[in-house]
Structure 1
Amino acid sequence: MRTAAPLLPVLALALALAGCGQRPGPPASHASPTSSNDPRFQPLAAYDMPDDDGRTVGRARWTLAKECMVRLGFQDLKNLDIDPLPAWPRRPAGTGVVQLSLYASDDLRYGIQDPEQAARHGYQAARADYERRYRGKNWTLSEYLALTGQFVGEDPTSVHGHRIPKRGCLGEADRAIYGTHPQDRKDPVLDLETKSIQQGRLAPAWQQADKQWSACMRKAGYHYASPRDAELGEDRRHQELEARLNGASRDPDEPSDLEKRTATADARCKQQTGYVRTVHAIDVRIQNQLIARHRAKLEAQRRWNDDAARKADEILEDRS
Structure 2
Amino acid sequence: MRMPAYGTRGTAAYTTAFRVGLCALFLAAATACGAAGGAQGGDPAAKPPRPATLGELALLDQAQEALVDRCMDRAGFEYHPAAPVTADERRDFPYVVDDPAWARAYGYGGALDRRAARERKDNPNAAYLRTLSPDRQHAYGTALYGDPATAIEVTVPTGIDIRRSRTGCLADADRALYGDLREWFRVDKVASNLPDRTAELHRAPEYRAAVGKWAACMTGRGHPYASPDDIQRRLPALTKGASPGEAHAVEVGLATAEAECARSTPLSATVDRLTRRLARPDRAQYAAEIEGRDRMRLLALEHARARELPPR
With the shorter chain as reference, the TM-score category is 0.5 to 0.7
Question: What is the rounded CA distance, in whole Å, between the counterparts of 2:125 and 2:35 in structure 1?
Answer: 20
Q: Is residue 156 from structure 1 mapped to residue 156 from structure 2 by the alignment? A: no
User: Structure 1 residues 264, 110: closer, same or farther in 2, change over 3 A?
Assistant: same
Residues 71-100 of structure 1: CA distance to partner in whole angstroms, max 9, x if unpaired? 23347x6xx8x8xx7347xxxxxxxxxxxx
Q: Secondary structure at the match of 1:64?
A: helix
**Paired letter, 2:61:** G
Question: What is the rounded CA distance, in whole Å, between the counterparts of 1:258 and 1:52 in structure 2?
Answer: 29
User: Structure 1 residues 271, 57: closer, same or farther in 2, change over 3 A?
Assistant: closer
Indicate which of 257, 274, 292 corresponds to 2:266. 274
Q: Is residue 22 from structure 1 mapped to residue 34 from structure 2 by the alignment? A: yes
Q: Is residue 251 from structure 1 mapped to residue 250 from structure 2 by the alignment? A: no
Question: What is the rounded CA distance, in whole Å, between the counterparts of 1:145 and 1:312 in structure 2?
Answer: 32
User: Structure 1 residues 190, 46: closer, same or farther in 2, change over 3 A?
Assistant: farther
Question: What is the rounded CA distance, in whole Å, between the counterparts of 1:237 and 1:52 in structure 2?
Answer: 31
Match of 2:206 in 1: 205
- Percent identity over the alignment is 24
Match of 1:92 in 2: none
Runs of 4+ in 1 over 6 A off after TM superposition: 181-185
Match of 2:286 in 1: 294
User: Structure 1 residues 155, 114: closer, same or farther in 2, change over 3 A?
Assistant: farther
> In the alignment, is the contact (CA less than 8 A) between 2:37 and 2:293 conserved in 1?
no
**Paired letter, 1:260:** V
Moved more, 263-272 or 182-191: 182-191
Indicate which of 54, 64, 68 corresponds to 1:65. 68
Q: Is residue 240 from structure 1 mapped to residue 239 from structure 2 by the alignment? A: yes
Question: What is the rounded CA distance, in whole Å, between the counterparts of 1:142 and 1:164 in structure 2?
Answer: 17
**Paired letter, 2:173:** A
Q: CA RMSD in A?
A: 4.8
Indicate which of 78, 88, 103 corresponds to 1:118. 103
User: What TM-score do the two structures reach when normalised by structure 2?
Assistant: 0.58
Q: Is residue 188 from structure 1 mapped to residue 167 from structure 2 by the alignment? A: no
Indicate which of 144, 148, 151 corresponds to 1:165. 144
The structural deviation recorded for 1:140 is 4.1
> Which consecutive residues of structure 2, in runs of 5 or more, have no partner in the other structure?
1-10, 22-26, 39-47, 117-121, 147-167
> In the alignment, is the contact (CA less than 8 A) between 2:100 and 2:256 conserved in 1?
yes
Match of 1:177 in 2: 177
Question: What is the rounded CA distance, in whole Å, between the counterparts of 1:143 and 1:171 in structure 2?
Answer: 22
Residues 103-150 of structure 1: CA distance to partner in whole angstroms, max 9, x if unpaired? 7525x355322434423321118949x99xxxxx9524255799xxxx
Question: What is the rounded CA distance, in whole Å, between the counterparts of 2:101 and 2:303 in structure 1?
Answer: 41
Residues 209-252 of structure 1: CA distance to partner in whole angstroms, max 9, x if unpaired? 1122122223333343322332x2x32312422xx2xxx5x238
User: Structure 1 residues 126, 109: closer, same or farther in 2, change over 3 A?
Assistant: farther
> Which consecutive residues of structure 1, in runs of 5 or more, have no partner in the other structure?
13-17, 27-44, 89-102, 132-136, 147-152
Question: What is the rounded CA distance, in whole Å, between the counterparts of 2:236 and 2:110 in structure 1?
Answer: 18
Using CA pairs below 8 Å that are at least 6 residues apart, which structure has the higher relative contact order?
2
Question: What is the rounded CA distance, in whole Å, between the counterparts of 2:186 and 2:111 in structure 1?
Answer: 25
Question: Which is richer in helix?
Answer: 2
Question: What is the rounded CA distance, in whole Å, between the counterparts of 1:52 and 1:214 in structure 2?
Answer: 34
> In the alignment, is the contact (CA less than 8 A) between 2:61 and 2:84 conserved in 1?
no
Question: What is the rounded CA distance, in whole Å, between the counterparts of 1:271 and 1:295 in structure 2?
Answer: 31
Question: What is the rounded CA distance, in whole Å, between the counterparts of 2:56 and 2:173 in structure 1?
Answer: 16
Match of 2:229 in 1: 228
> In the alignment, is the contact (CA less than 8 A) between 1:25 and 1:58 conserved in 2?
no
The count of corresponding residues between Structure 1 and Structure 2 is 250
